[in-house]
């Protein structure tokens, strides 16, 4: 519903359990979507993932080149941000910001653009 407030209407959300109509059951470690299916991927649960690199790998694969992957984690500093950014093998770091998300302070590293292949 919050996405609709910023005029995003065609949304596919995934979680380990269904929460219809907006959220379909899927394993974030193994996303079953076509390559480049989305303009935007977001997670606020990377720090809960068993294999964070697999979640990031799936996000990068499912997002079109030149579009965005966004991650929100508990508030952290430079070394932690760099560690998270290193998970993104096919993207470049665009921005890092401290925000409040659902009442919790979060750091949003990285907003990453998939790198264009040469």
Give the other-Cβ count within 10 Å of 80's Cβ. Answer: 15
The dihedrals phi and psi of 63, each to the nearest 5 degrees, come to -100, 135
Which has more pLDDT, 65 or 5?
65
**What is the pLDDT, as a whole number, of residue 118?**
45
Domains identified in the chain and CATH numbers: 31-114 (3.40.50.150)
Contact 114, 63 (CB under 8 A): yes
Q: Model-level pTM?
A: 0.75
Confidence check: pLDDT of 116 > 60: no
Instruction: Encode pLDDT of 72-94 as tens digits.
Output: 888 888 888 889 999 999 988 88
Instruction: Encode pLDDT of 13-52 as tens digits.
Output: 787 777 777 778 888 889 888 999 988 888 888 888 999 9
**What is the pLDDT, as a whole number, of residue 96?**
86
Omega of the bond prior to 88 within 30 degrees of 0, cis? no
**What is the pLDDT, as a whole number, of residue 109?**
54
* Pairing status of strand 73-74 against strand 104-107: antiparallel
User: Mean of the pLDDT values across residues 101-107?
Assistant: 67
* Pairing status of strand 63-71 against strand 111-114: antiparallel
Positive or negative: CA dihedral 10, 16, 19, 25: positive
**What is the pLDDT, as a whole number, of residue 114?**
58
Nearest to 73 by CA among 35, 92, 33, 46: 46
Can you tell me the distance from the alpha carbon of 90 to that of 78, in angstroms, rounded to the nearest whole number? 21
């Amino acid at each position: 519903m919050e996405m609709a407030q910023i005029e995003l209407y065609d949304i596919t959300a995934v979680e380990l359990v269904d929460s219809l109509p907006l959220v379909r059951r899927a394993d974030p470690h193994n996303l079953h979507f076509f390559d480049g299916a989305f303009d935007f991927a977001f997670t606020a649960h990377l720090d809960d993932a068993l294999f964070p690199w697999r979640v990031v790998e799936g996000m990068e694969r499912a997002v079109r080149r030149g579009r965005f992957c966004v991650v929100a984690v508990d508030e952290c500093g430079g070394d932690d941000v760099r560690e998270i950014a290193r998970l993104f093998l096919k993207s470049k770091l665009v921005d890092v910001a401290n925000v409040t998300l659902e009442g919790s302070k979060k750091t949003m590293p990285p907003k990453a653009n998939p790198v264009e292949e040469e």
